[in-house]
Amino acid sequence: MRLIVSDSTDVYYNLAAEAYFLHQTDENIIMLWRSESAVVCGKHQNICAEINYAACRQLNIAPARRVSGGGTVYHDLGNLNFSFIQDLGTTLDKAVNYKRFLEPIRQALLEMGIETSYSERDDLLYKGVKFSGNAQHIFQQKKRVLHHGTLLINANIHHLGKALHSEGIYQDKAVKSNKSAVTNLAEHFPHLADLHQTISTLAKKISTITQSQISSIQSEEDKHIQQLKSEKFTQDEWILGYSPTYHHQRTIAVDDITYHLNMVVTKGLISEFTLRDNQGNFAFPDACLVTINQPISPKTFENAFVNTPFHSHTNHNHFF
């Protein structure tokens, strides 16, 4: 088994690496990685309903989507992610076994003097408060599993709260996140704030526990990962468009005027889009019409509303 400590802090690259090792290799791999500020939603979630898109743009928090299910999580350089990519053997029975992958993490932390426990949802807790959430995806074709999770060590909890707070009303059948109180381990163990040392120590302990060899991503692997990142993980069609059909309503204030938005997105395309003022009159009907049958994307709104008061506000992404 290989234990890869990723050199990249690009969330899209690391998500692509997980997918590459899961789908295109037969190796059993553990990966430790961090990313610059990002919010990562589950495969079956409506990302627009899970995050505050405008706040994320203002705070330079990248929106992303992973191949596993589960809820939306916040990443930054104070957050350490772990990924187990392994064969399940000849059967898929008992494939969903979170503790199988969490126990090596828990044991490694215990050897570092950090005693943790499990929640009913198999989150990891320190003194009853969550610091680690996880998700899992089964690649049935090759009977392989991707299990990954987060370890909040010294993350910006303030940015986490701002990012994971959507605006407006969303009606859909998407998987919803379960929000929980969280804590940083460095609040209780200040020496952990040195993430480079913490990662090095944790990697060595996990390597011993799992009998794995510490390595890095090789150049040939990197080529495939970069391609997958470019073709899928950075694309709006995946990040925004993969969301299930949804109906979105909200009020938007621009230049001291309040507008009422009504939008329906079907299979990643805008099927309904109207704006009304407080008197119920349609506003900017020509611009609204331009959005119809276009992909849900910042570019769609920037192009449609270029000659309206919304254009100077497009960086705030009022329509998400």
Task: Please tell me whether residues 136 and 230 are part of one structural domain.
Answer: yes
Where in the sequence is the domain holding 255, given as residue range(s)?
246-316
* Under 8 Å between Cβ of 282 and 289: no
Q: What does the block give as tokens for 85?
A: 């990519």
Among the candidates 239, 263, 290, a domain finishes at 239
Nearby residues of 187 by Cβ (< 8 Å), 6 or more positions away: none
* Under 8 Å between Cβ of 287 and 308: yes
DSSP β-ladder status, 257-266 and 246-254: antiparallel
Alpha-carbon gap, residue 212 to 4, rounded angstroms? 10
Task: Please tell me whether residues 33 and 118 are part of one structural domain.
Answer: yes
Question: What are the distances in angstroms from CA 167 to CA 207, 241, 294?
Answer: 43, 18, 22
Task: Please tell me whether residues 180 and 275 are part of one structural domain.
Answer: no
Q: How many C-beta atoms surround the C-beta of residue 204 within 10 A?
A: 14
Task: Please tell me whether residues 140 and 276 are part of one structural domain.
Answer: no
Nearby residues of 199 by Cβ (< 8 Å), 6 or more positions away: 5, 32, 34, 80
Q: What does the block give as tokens for 184?
A: 């940083």
DSSP code of residue 36: S
Among the candidates 239, 258, 292, a domain finishes at 239
Which pTM value belongs to this model? 0.88
Task: Please tell me whether residues 230 and 264 are part of one structural domain.
Answer: no
Number of domains in the chain: 2
Among the candidates 223, 239, 255, a domain finishes at 239
pLDDT tens for each residue of the chain, 320 residues long: 999 999 999 999 999 999 999 999 999 999 999 999 999 999 988 888 888 888 888 889 999 999 998 888 899 999 999 999 998 875 555 556 778 899 999 999 999 999 999 988 888 999 999 999 888 888 888 889 999 999 999 999 888 888 887 766 667 655 565 666 889 999 999 999 999 999 999 999 999 999 999 999 999 999 999 999 999 999 999 998 888 888 999 898 888 889 999 999 998 899 999 999 999 999 999 999 999 999 998 889 989 998 888 776 544 466 77
